[in-house]
Every structure is written in structure tokens, then in C-alpha cells.
């Protein structure tokens, strides 16, 4: 249950990160011209940083009722070379616990290397880097903002921390999110994990703030509705899932490299899972033999 629960939370965050991309085309004329400028601006960017916070409430029999989580994540991204660094904290007040995680993702020798660290232990996942597939994920993420019926550009600009900003609101369907997650799973494979999430009935309401002066994205607020995962006694309902992503440090992020001690100490995920499976099989065989002898 713990492994599935972490996978569900990770998937929700990952979907939101992909959803809250730097910018995308839209369908309504007034929003389309503005978002197209944002997209063009972001396409030319070499780096940026995002700060994401989330408040999540889960309901499940397996959890004994409700459970609140908070998430705080900073992510740095560069495009030349393609690299990403993420530092995240997930806090569970009811359990009095907090998890600190780090992740480095880099492209090396036509491979995507993803180093995930927790409590001083690191694991590395490897997969082939297919630029066309990654671009298809980006295209799927852009499609999330193409609803003709939901996008609305506010009549008045707003002040966002001293910056005059355009405000766009909208809603995204579960089918669109499902298409994005499908693209991600087909391309990233085990990097996304098996989440058992039901995406059909969800919707995502968002508010997107864009600087009037330079058309840089400022923030995106998101509310996920109707999200569930699992079945039967293990079904989990996300009764609250609010997330905010703020964009900063355009073209000022330093080069991202994986520290040598991380490279040297990282355990290959495939090897780890194979060893774990072998240990489980051995324990099962030993238990069967003991029961037979008894």
C-alpha cells in the first residue's frame, strides 16, 4: 500500500508539473495570441526555475480516514544541455513524518539518467533518450490547454508581486490528462511508475498569470477535482488537491551536473528490483519447505 500510495502522489505531482509547462497554444483568439507569445518566449529560454507547493487530503479505509499532506518542491531546468534538478519535501502531519527527496535527470550518451535520492541513498534509472518522444510529451502537454470552451482571459490585469499580469482561467478534462499520462508512460516507462490512478472523471481548474511587460509566465494555480486511485478497500480519494507553481530565474540557472559521489553510490533500479525479487522468491521457497516438513 505504501509503495502504491507514493506512486499515486508522485504521479499527481508529475502530471501537474507537465501540465504547468512554460506555455502553450490556446484556441480562443484573445488567449491564443497571448499564450503564443509566452510559448515563443519560453521556446527560446535556456533555463528556468519553478517553485511548487501543494496541499493534498486523502481519504481511504486503508488510511483509517483522512490524511493531509503538504508538498514543497523547487525544480531547476536547463535545455543546453538537457538537465533537471529537483528538491522536494513531502510532509504528513498526522504521522509526524516528512520525506526529503532529490532528483537529478540528465541526458548522457543518448540515455536519460534519473538519479533519485532519499535519506542519503541514491538509485539510478536508465532509458534510451528519444528526442521525438519527448517532443510528443511536450505536444500532449500543450494540448491540455486547447479547450475551446473553458479558456477565459480576464477583462482586467492584476498586480502579482508588483508585476502587472494577464490572468487566464480554464478547466481541463480527465480525458486530456489521461492522454498526457499515456504519452509519458509510453516514453518514460518505469520512470513514471504504475499508479493505478483513475483519470477518467477528474478535471483540473487552473489560473495562469502572465507578465504583461515581457510575457514571461508568473504562476499557475491548479485544483484537481474527482481524483481517485485503487479499488475496493485500497481505493484512495483525493478530496483536496491544490497546487501552485511559480516561475522564476529565467535564463539564470547554473549548469546542472550530477555530483560524483551521487554517481558513485547510486544503485541501478533494475538490479535492485531483480535482487529484491530473487530474495522474495528465496524466502517463499524456504517458507514452503518449512511448512512441508512440518
Beta strands (DSSP E) in the chain are 47-60, 65-79, 82-92, 97-108, 111-118, 121-128, 152-153, 158-160, 163-173, 197-198, 203-211, 217-225, 227-229, 236-248, 267-268
- The closest of 37, 137, 26, 121 to 82, measured between CA atoms, is 137
pTM for this predicted structure: 0.78
- The three cell numbers locating residue 38: 509566452
Torsion of CA 9, 198, 76, 104, to 10 degrees: 70
The tens place of each residue's pLDDT in the chain, 294 residues long, gives: 444 444 444 444 444 444 445 654 433 336 878 888 888 888 889 999 999 999 999 999 888 899 999 999 999 999 888 899 999 999 999 999 999 999 999 998 888 899 999 999 999 998 887 777 666 666 666 666 555 457 889 999 999 999 999 999 988 877 777 666 665 555 555 444 445 566 667 888 999 999 999 999 999 999 999 888 888 888 889 999 999 999 999 999 999 999 999 999 999 988 878 777 766 655 555 565 555 555
Domain boundaries 2-103+139-251, corresponding CATH code? 2.50.20
The domain limits of the chain are 2-103+139-251
* C-alpha pair distances (Å), 229 with each of 8, 149, 179: 7, 28, 17
Bond preceding residue 81 cis, omega within 30 of 0: yes
Amino acid at each position: 500500500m505504501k509503495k502504491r500510495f507514493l506512486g499515486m502522489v508522485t504521479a499527481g505531482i508529475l502530471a501537474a508539473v507537465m501540465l504547468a509547462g512554460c506555455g502553450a497554444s490556446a484556441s480562443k483568439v484573445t488567449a491564443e495570441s497571448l499564450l503564443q507569445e509566452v510559448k515563443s518566449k519560453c521556446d527560446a529560454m535556456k533555463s528556468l526555475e519553478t517553485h511548487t507547493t501543494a496541499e493534498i487530503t486523502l481519504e481511504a479505509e486503508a488510511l483509517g480516514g483522512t490524511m493531509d499532506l503538504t508538498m514543497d518542491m523547487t525544480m531547476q531546468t536547463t535545455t543546453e544541455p538537457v538537465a533537471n534538478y529537483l528538491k522536494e519535501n513531502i510532509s504528513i502531519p498526522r504521522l509526524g513524518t516528512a520525506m526529503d527527496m532529490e532528483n537529478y535527470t540528465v541526458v548522457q550518451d543518448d540515455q536519460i539518467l534519473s538519479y533519485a535520492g532519499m535519506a542519503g541513498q541514491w538509485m539510478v534509472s536508465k532509458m534510451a533518450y528519444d528526442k521525438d518522444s519527448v517532443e510528443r510529451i511536450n505536444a500532449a502537454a500543450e494540448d491540455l490547454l486547447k479547450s475551446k470552451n473553458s479558456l477565459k482571459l480576464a477583462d482586467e490585469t492584476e498586480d502579482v508581486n508588483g508585476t502587472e499580469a494577464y490572468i487566464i482561467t480554464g478547466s481541463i478534462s480527465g480525458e486530456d490528462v489521461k492522454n498526457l499520462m499515456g504519452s509519458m508512460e509510453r516514453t518514460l516507462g518505469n520512470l513514471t511508475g504504475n499508479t493505478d490512478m483513475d483519470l477518467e472523471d477528474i478535471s483540473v481548474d487552473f489560473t495562469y498569470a502572465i507578465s504583461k511587460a515581457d510575457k514571461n509566465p508568473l504562476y499557475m494555480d491548479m485544483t484537481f477535482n474527482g481524483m481517485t486511485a485503487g479499488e475496493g478497500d485500497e481505493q484512495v480519494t483525493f478530496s483536496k488537491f491544490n497546487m501552485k507553481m511559480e516561475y522564476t530565474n529565467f535564463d539564470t540557472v547554473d549548469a546542472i551536473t550530477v555530483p560524483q559521489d551521487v554517481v558513485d553510490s547510486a544503485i541501478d533500479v533494475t538490479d535492485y528490483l531483480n535482487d529484491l525479487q530473487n530474495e522474495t522468491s528465496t524466502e517463499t521457497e524456504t517458507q514452503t519447505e518449512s511448512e512441508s516438513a512440518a
